[in-house]
Each structure stands twice: as C-alpha cells, then as structure tokens.
Amino acid sequence: MTPITEQKLADKNVAPTAMRILVMNMLLEQSAAISLSDIEKGLAPADRITIYRTIKTFEEKGLVHVIDDGTGTPKYALCLEECGVNEHHDLHVHFNCISCKETFCLPNCKIPDVSLPANFSSTEMNLIVKGICDKCAN
C-alpha cells in the first residue's frame, strides 16, 4: 500500500481492505474518469460485486464522485478533499472528448450559478462539455 493510498483511505475512515487498496491505487493512476467495467478489466479476475461495493463505499465516504457524461455509462473520478460522507462538493465542469471518449474533471472550471424558478430546488448539478481534448487535438 502506498502512503498516498493509505492516507486517502484513513482520511475518510475507510478500512484498508485488499480490494479497496487495489481500487484506490487504480483510481490514483488515472488521468481521466473511469467506468466500472474498465476497473473490472484492470483488476481481473477480481470479483465484480466486490469492486462495485468498493466504489459505492468510496462514493458514500466522499472519495469518488460519479459522472454522468451522457454516454450511458457512469464514470468515476477521485473527489476533492472537501467531499465527505454523502456530501460531495465537486461542482466543476466535466469534459467528454468525442474523439478518444475519455471524460476529464476540470476542477478549476466551476459550474456557474443557476437561478431556478421559485419553488424549484436542486439536489445536484452536472455540466458536461463535449469536444476534442488536448491529446486528440495534437
């Protein structure tokens, strides 16, 4: 277990099981959000239910957030440090590249304030920008 993995799990009071360590290490290696299916492929022959439960635990504890990028497959990315138990503060733009199909968190691009009509209240926000990423543009 790397010191970074150990610290991230400890900071969120997540017991460091073998699967949690493997999944966290995989997430730490990613430059883009990753699907559950890609995590399963990367950790084969690990049990897919255990991987799913691990991701759900990470989401509940504020370690990862789910990204609905419009592809029909949820993607997962590490949260910012401010996220906590069932409380995500990852209100940033996500970018989906139409060429390589990868989805990136853009934490420095905040979602703008949205004025909702009276009697409307939001429970979550998601802003996806689609286009060509810097790798595909070169």
105 is in an annotated binding site: no
83 is in an annotated binding site: no
Q: 103 near 69, Cβ under 8 Å?
A: yes
Give the CATH number of the domain where residue 73 resides. Answer: 1.10.10.10
133 is in an annotated binding site: yes
25 closest CA partner among 6, 44, 41: 6
Give the type of residue at 75.
K
Q: What is the residue range of 96's domain?
A: 3-137
For the entire predicted model, the pTM comes to 0.86
92 is in an annotated binding site: no
The C-alpha atoms of residue 20 and residue 23 are separated, in whole angstroms, by 5
Residue with tokens 């790397």: 2
Rounded alpha-carbon distances, angstroms, from residue 93 to 16, 19, 37, 128: 30, 30, 23, 6
pLDDT at 3: 77
Residue 2: partners with Cβ closer than 8 Å, 6 or more residues away: 25, 28
79 is in an annotated binding site: no
Task: State how far Cα 20 lies from the chain centre.
Answer: 15
| Tens digit of each residue's pLDDT (9 = 90 or more) over 46-92 | 999 999 999 999 999 989 999 999 889 999 999 877 777 767 666 78
Report the domain count for the chain.
1
68 is in an annotated binding site: no
pLDDT at 53: 96
